[in-house]
Amino acid sequence: MKMFRRCVMVGLAAGGVAVLAACGSSSGGGASTGGKPGSPITIGTSLSLSGDFAADGQAFEKGYQLWVHDQNAKGGLLGHPIQLKVVSDASSPAQVVTNYQKLIGSDKVPLVFGPFSTLLTAPSARVASRYGYAFIEGAGGAPAVFTQGLHNVFDVSVPVKLNLVTWAQWVASLPASQRPKTAAYATVDDPFTAPQIPQAQSILTGAGVKTVYSKVFPAEATDFTPIAGQVASTHADAMVLGSVDVPTVSAFVHSFVQQHYSPKAFIATAGPDQGATFVKAVGAGNENGIFVPNGWYPGFQKADSQQMVKAYIAKYGGSASDVNADVAEAYSVGQAMAQAVAATHSLDNSKIIAYLHSPVTLDSVQGPVKFNSLGENTAGKTLTFQWQNGDLHQTIPTSTPGSKPPTYPKPPWKG
Amino acid sequence: MSGTALLQAIVDGVLTGGVYALMAAGLTLMFGVMDIINIAQGVMVVLGAYLSYELSVHLGIGLVPGLLITVPLMFVLGVVLEFCFLRRLREQDRTGMSILITFAVAILIEGILSAIYGVDYVQLHASYVDKSVHVFGFYLPYIYLIGFALAGVLLSVLYWMLYRTKFGRGVRASLQNRSAADLIGVNVNRTRTISVGIGVAVTAVGGMVFGATTAFNPNSGYDLISRLLAIVILGGMGSIGGAMVAAIFLLVVNDVVAVAWSPTWAPLVFFAALVIVLSIRPQGLFGSPAVRAQ
């Protein structure tokens, strides 16, 4: 059915591209000052409001909207109030291309923000590049985005290939008597997870941790029982799971509980960062001890970050633990754009691109942002978080202010 | 790969196959007997899971007892679906149009669920969901054993109803020749309405087990439908028992390939097995070519 829906989307996208091509396209890369003083500026973006990435896409929308609200309170961009135009891509790589074609080619928005996920950022960045648009994004951090030879893409978050490095280095630094002897690696076939696992595996292998399981499973997998069962049968001391969502991690956790297998260390690339949603899925108590890498968390000690969390709660309700990293990533995109527009005093995308490639360090709720020639943020640092007694805490690097000592080995499953 | 791992994969495949058979049961009835391709089956499984979630979390009703409420609710949904949409389809393009109608229904249900529950994932919990029994060196999860048992009971009841009762004869007669069935006194409209109702009702059971084994949100149903259709086609359209055998066969193949070879190839082999079997037996494992030829 997913294939069916994607086929329909591809057909629609192909039709849309043909129509747009027939109509011609603009090449200016946006206006230089945004028209009459006080007239609104529209920033276009495509987000996954439904489909596989719906939870992340909707969180991203909240992050963008929060930034628009805050920036407008400061006077908008160059004195123009900001309007955000969000179109849904249903998590489809075909639809996201159509959306940016329309936003830039037909709607002629002067600026665009990136979508959610590497899977959607890679194709949409190419569209923006054709039109000469700066493509600032917060969730396309895998090599698949930066190896396309594009000059216009800028990721405000930490490159995902480094996500597991700090955790792996911490494991490798454990005394030999405590260090895991064996490790299992299972990862979904996805551009977000694929670059992360080899980095961790290399560090752990170098530290003498023997690999007892290492396999990739397809993104379409719905039954994780045989994979989790085989991992459990290896009794690996450490489990490294390349996941993109909550259901995958939840399926592994439940299967491990049923198989009476509890690794000493368990890290998943995504899923445990989803706060209360993750706890509800795995069952209260089973989350304790599970690690997840990320660049930001609600308790991040930075003034604008704390202000953003307060604004989120005021606008959307809930508590700080309901604010996931997607919100901060999206908010940071807006902050980077605002600083570039202010510095260049222009909405000209070519000037914005040139500025972002200059050796400047920008500021964001996630921390400093400095782009290399590929558009990767080289100033950001990956942190590793761990669920401890029902709360997600920053734990690694252990020397970083605000880090709590990691719980090791992982507590037994609550069952 | 050890023999134990292979045996574990076979056991897992058999038990998971039971769960898939449970989810495919309603599809078998509607697709196999009434020529309605219910694209909304996956979304209906998710709807069944949400109904169980609602009863469990907000009313404290256990997952299995809750079926006494969710099954009738889903039956009503099926009746409404047939009465409002499917009945209006012309006989000659009934199958093709049913795809469009049920796709629209799927989007409608998904939209309503999204409006109510948002897109956050939830999962059904009960004391036995994470428990397992140790038998001959294997851990057998209770939830999968329950799912397998429910599949056996449910498919047996469906088989009995379809092939051992007057109502079942009416269902089959109305498919083979609507006019003739009408002439011999079968109330075709009522028969079909009840059949769709039953087909949707049994999905509540599959939804409960699905929700207890997988974290889900309103979008989760789309990942299921291709596999459920494969199971129904392989088992033989119109064969209730065939769905059970096909589900177990395909899931065992899937799990053995995942363990013995690579999880990457498991979905490919899953569907390749379907193609190979159909090239030898186009009517499926237990389907009747005579019935489909009419």
Q: What's the number of CA atoms in the CB half-sphere (13 Å) around residue A51?
A: 22
pLDDT of residue B291: 46
B4 contacts in chain A (CB < 8 Å): 233
Shortest distance between the Cα of B88 and any Cα of chain A, in A, equals: 25
pLDDT of residue A15: 44
pLDDT of residue A37: 66
Ramachandran category for residue A79: left, alpha or beta (phi over 0 → left; psi -120 to 50 → alpha): left
CB within 8 A of B240, min separation 6: which ones? B25, B28, B29, B32, B155, B158, B159, B162
pLDDT value at A132 more than 90: yes
Shortest distance between the Cα of B240 and any Cα of chain A, in A, equals: 23
H/E segment holding residue B23: helix B3-27
Indicate the DSSP class of residue A335. Answer: H
A263: tokens are: 């690794």
Kindly state the average pLDDT of the residues B157-177. Answer: 85
A373: tokens are: 């020639």
Across the interface, of A55, A220, A227, the residue whose CB is closest to B258 is A227
Task: Give one DSSP letter per residue of A26-80, joined into a string.
Answer: --S-S-SS-SSTT--EEEEEEE-SSSTTHHHHHHHHHHHHHHHHHHHHTT-BTTB
B226 contacts in chain A (CB < 8 Å): 1-4
Contacts 24+ apart (CB under 8 A), B108-111: B109/B40, B109/B43, B109/B44, B109/B47, B110/A50, B110/B43, B110/B46, B110/B218, B110/B219, B110/B221, B111/B218
Give A276: exposed, middle or buried? Use CB within 10 Å, 0-12, 13-18, 19+: middle
The amino acid present at B226, given as its one-letter code, is S
Indicate the DSSP class of residue A189. Answer: S
Cis peptide before A397 (omega within 30 of 0): yes
Q: In terms of domains, do A77 and A174 share one?
A: no
> Does some domain include residue A25?
yes
H/E segment holding residue A385: strand A383-388
Chain centroid to CA A410: how far?
26
**pLDDT tens figures, A361-393:** 999 999 999 999 999 999 988 889 999 998 888
pLDDT of residue A274: 84
Asked if residues A35 and A77 have their Cβ atoms less than 8 Å apart, the reply is no
Q: In terms of domains, do A209 and A149 share one?
A: no
Average per-residue pLDDT for chain A: 89
Mean pLDDT is lowest, of A5-19, A48-62, A374-388, B259-273, for A5-19
Average per-residue pLDDT for chain B: 87
pLDDT value at B292 more than 50: no
Q: Is B249 helix (H, G, I), strand (E, B) or coil?
A: helix
Q: In terms of domains, do A39 and A147 share one?
A: yes
> Does some domain include residue A206?
yes
Q: In terms of domains, do A184 and A119 share one?
A: no
Q: Which CATH number fits domain B3-293: 1.10.1670, 3.30.1540, 1.10.3470, 1.10.1740?
A: 1.10.3470
**pLDDT tens figures, B116-142:** 998 888 999 998 988 999 888 888 999
pLDDT value at A18 more than 50: no
Closest CA to A294 of A119, A139, A125, A63: A139
A225 contacts in chain B (CB < 8 Å): 12, 16, 255
> Does some domain include residue A13?
no
> Does some domain include residue A3?
no
Q: In terms of domains, do A247 and A390 share one?
A: yes
H/E segment holding residue B173: helix B166-176
Task: Determine the structural domain holding residue A232 and report its residue range.
Answer: 164-268+276-295+382-396
Predicted structure pTM score: 0.82
Q: Is A153 helix (H, G, I), strand (E, B) or coil?
A: strand
Give the pLDDT band (50/70/90) at residue A277.
confident
**pLDDT tens figures, A26-57:** 334 445 455 566 789 999 999 999 888 888 89
Give the pLDDT band (50/70/90) at residue B289.
low
Indicate the DSSP class of residue B30. Answer: I
Q: In terms of domains, do A143 and A218 share one?
A: no
Asked if residues B106 and B39 have their Cβ atoms less than 8 Å apart, the reply is yes
Q: From CA B88, how far away is CA A166, in angstroms rounded?
A: 62
> Does some domain include residue A194?
yes
Q: In terms of domains, do A177 and A144 share one?
A: no
What residues of chain B, 157 to 216, have a C-beta less than 8 Å from chain A? Answer: 213-216
Judging by DSSP bridges, how do beta strands A362-364 and A153-155 pair with one another?
unpaired
pLDDT of residue B33: 67
**pLDDT tens figures, A179-203:** 999 999 999 998 889 889 999 999 9
B214 contacts in chain A (CB < 8 Å): 222, 247, 250-251
Residue-wise burial string across B54-64, b where 16 or more C-beta atoms lie within 10 A, e elsewhere? bbbeeeebebe
Q: In terms of domains, do A63 and A197 share one?
A: no
Q: In terms of domains, do A106 and A148 share one?
A: yes
B255 contacts in chain A (CB < 8 Å): 223, 225-226
Cis peptide before A115 (omega within 30 of 0): no
Mean pLDDT is lowest, of A122-131, A293-302, A329-338, for A293-302
Alpha helix positions (H), A235-324: 246-258, 276-282, 303-316
pLDDT of residue A34: 53
- CA closest to B226 among chain A residues: A1
A186 contacts in chain B (CB < 8 Å): 263
Across the interface, of B8, B217, B263, the residue whose CB is closest to A215 is B263
A336: tokens are: 């980077």
Q: In terms of domains, do A212 and A341 share one?
A: no
Q: From CA A166, how far away is CA A385, in angstroms rounded?
A: 11
pLDDT value at B264 more than 90: no
Q: Is A110 helix (H, G, I), strand (E, B) or coil?
A: coil
pLDDT of residue B191: 86
What is the total count of domains within chain A?
A: 2
pLDDT of residue B238: 72
Give the pLDDT band (50/70/90) at residue A13.
very low
Mean pLDDT is lowest, of A401-410, B90-99, B145-154, for B90-99
Asked if residues A201 and A238 have their Cβ atoms less than 8 Å apart, the reply is no
Q: Is A128 helix (H, G, I), strand (E, B) or coil?
A: helix
pLDDT value at B163 more than 50: yes
Kindly state the average pLDDT of the residues A93-101. Answer: 95
Mutation target to probe the A interface, by most A beta carbons within 10 A, among B46, B214, B220, B229 is B214
CB contact under 8 A, B226 and A260: no
Asked if residues B223 and B239 have their Cβ atoms less than 8 Å apart, the reply is no
**Could you give phi then psi for residue A215, rounded to 5 degrees?**
-145, 155
Kindly state the average pLDDT of the residues A4-30. Answer: 42
> Does some domain include residue A314?
no
Kindly state the average pLDDT of the residues B170-191. Answer: 82
**pLDDT tens figures, B208-238:** 999 999 999 998 888 888 888 889 888 887 7
- CA closest to A254 among chain B residues: B130
Q: In terms of domains, do A147 and A34 share one?
A: yes
* Helix, strand counts (H, E) of chain A: 13, 14
Q: From CA A68, how far away is CA A40, in angstroms rounded?
A: 12
The amino acid present at A61, given as its one-letter code, is E
pLDDT of residue A21: 38
**pLDDT tens figures, B36-89:** 888 899 999 999 999 999 999 999 999 999 999 999 999 999 999 989 988 888
pLDDT value at A269 more than 70: yes
Question: What CATH number does the domain containing A181 carry?
Answer: 3.40.50.2300
Q: In terms of domains, do A55 and A201 share one?
A: no
Ordered by start, the domain boundaries in chain B are 3-293
Beta bridge partners of A299: none
Q: From CA A361, how far away is CA A371, in angstroms rounded?
A: 8
A241: tokens are: 């799971």
**Could you give phi then psi for residue A334, rounded to 5 degrees?**
-60, -40
Closest CA to A407 of A283, A257, A291, A256: A291
Chain centroid to CA B161: how far?
17
Judging by DSSP bridges, how do beta strands A135-137 and A367-369 pair with one another?
unpaired
Q: Looking at per-residue confidence, does A318 or A8 come out higher?
A: A318
Asked if residues B122 and B53 have their Cβ atoms less than 8 Å apart, the reply is yes
